Amino acid sequence: MKLTLLILLAVIATLGAADKPNVLFIAIDDQNDWIGCLGGHPQVKTPHIDGLAARGTLFTNAHCQSPLCNPSRSSLLTGLRPSSTGIYGLSPGIRDVEQTKAHVTLPQTFTQAGYHTFTCGKIYHDGSFKPKDRGPEFNTWGPAPGTGKPKKPFANLPEPRHPAMDWGPFPERDEDAADYKIASATIEALQGAPKDKQFFVAAGFRLPHVPCYAPQKWFDLYPAATLQMPPVLDGDRDDTPRFSWYLHWKLPEPRLHTLKERNEWRPLVRAYLASTSFMDAQVGRVLAALEASGRAKDTIVVLWSDHGWHVGEKAITGKNTLWDRSTRVPLIFAGPGIAAGAKCARPAELLDIFPTLLELTQFPARSDLEGHSLVPQLRDANAPREWPAITTHNHDNHGIRTERWRYIHYADGSEELYDMQADPNEWKNLAADAKLADVKRDLAKWLPKVNKKPVPGSKSRILLYDAATGAVNWEGKDAGASDPIPD
């Protein structure tokens, strides 16, 4: 009898493990809401991501934790806010930071649990994981090809320029592009995944990050003569604090006036759209391979972008801001236990992906994660949600996003407030309106209580503010209160 009971318990445990779903984890780089199902651009063509949204739940009000690659990805994969770790710049990586060097990450959780784990392309920020630290994260690290470059740049920009500041039709064939190779490696991983265990397969696509390159046929989807440009307002920054400029004080991404002067705004918009559609086609190849594997019904697919990207709005290009164009991202879950064809307008954070996947895959909840599971909204898109989305860029600068409001509080105390229902382009800063003082006060309650200064080794896009003196320092150089805003 005792032996029979032990055998029964062993069988139950085996069945429980077999019931756990697989995970296909798809990351996109610098993708804003110019996705068909999000309605960010009226002409964009993304049929494969739209199809994924149709069979799952789309979060229409999802936001990143940081509008920069390394801190955003570090936050998502550790489940910790940038303000809690002090990781704000393009370096260091999490294993070079005392607080996070032994922290069990999202992929490491699945590796330790016995999943077959694989990654290719850009999941962690490029170069943030030294080879010696890679072993515990994934069983297999696949290829992470770079974008490549043509013989000479396409874009007519001032020299010297950063090599990533370019856009145009390159390479000639889809097969020669980085994202095609990343999709192919992911397809091989899905085809070769062991049948006797669950898998966690992560694919990190590079587009539409600059340089925005795609073969000519993807540009042909967007004829220059009929291209619709994003809405911009002359003088849009007149009612924003000077501190808003410090967050992207001097960067390689060109300002809007430079693009206009050199007739490069339209080519950039066209290239961003072409790159997005090419990337979408690679997502489609991966999703088709999942279906062909026969394991789609047992696989949770989560698709996300690390942050958005300005394409002229607020007079800039690039990210590094606390406005919706920089923070709003695609976030889609599809698979077992997830409502199909649903759209959720509740605020969601990339930070929520970690606890959500733990719950969906029946792992114990963890008290050391700062996000909140989205499972209630995956079952009912209208389920209430207590928390706003919080985005941080460098120390003490935060954006709070609810269904109606965006509130920004900068390190020097200056503020912005936007009614996102009445003013989705964030053209009218309402922070000085005395009638909205209570609104600001309620939103300010969500500002992080912990605001660590940058960790040792921080560099690239690091902004420092000294509250005692009012001194501002950008990437090691002081920015005077009367210094002209850099071109």
- Active-site annotation holder among 37, 63, 64, 69: 69
Cross-strand partners of 303: 26, 332
- Terminal C-alpha separation, the chain: 80
Q: Is 125 a catalytic residue?
A: yes
Residue 188 to residues 144, 182, 285: CA-CA distances in angstroms?
14, 10, 11
DSSP 4: H
The two tokens of residue 202 are 């992560």
Q: Residue 193, Cβ neighbours under 10 Å: how many? A: 20
Residue 436 to residues 260, 290, 412, 433: CA-CA distances in angstroms?
37, 50, 20, 6
Q: Measure the CA–CA gap between 473 and 68, rounded to whole angstroms.
A: 18
Q: Measure the CA–CA gap between 200 and 436, rounded to whole angstroms.
A: 46
Burial label for 378, CB within 10 Å (0-12, 13-18, 19+), is buried
The two tokens of residue 326 are 């920089």
Q: Measure the CA–CA gap between 65 and 86, rounded to whole angstroms.
A: 12
Rg (CA), the chain: 22
The two tokens of residue 189 are 């991983």
Q: Is 69 a catalytic residue?
A: yes
Q: Which of 258, 251, 79, 281 is nearest to 177 (CA)?
A: 281
Interstrand relation of 116-121 and 62-63 (parallel, antiparallel or unpaired): unpaired
- Active-site annotation holder among 48, 63, 125, 409: 125
The two tokens of residue 186 are 């992911």
392-427 burial by CB neighbour count: b if 16+ within 10 A, else e? bbbbbbbbbbbeebbbbbbbbeebbbbbbeeeebbe
Active-site residue list: 69, 125
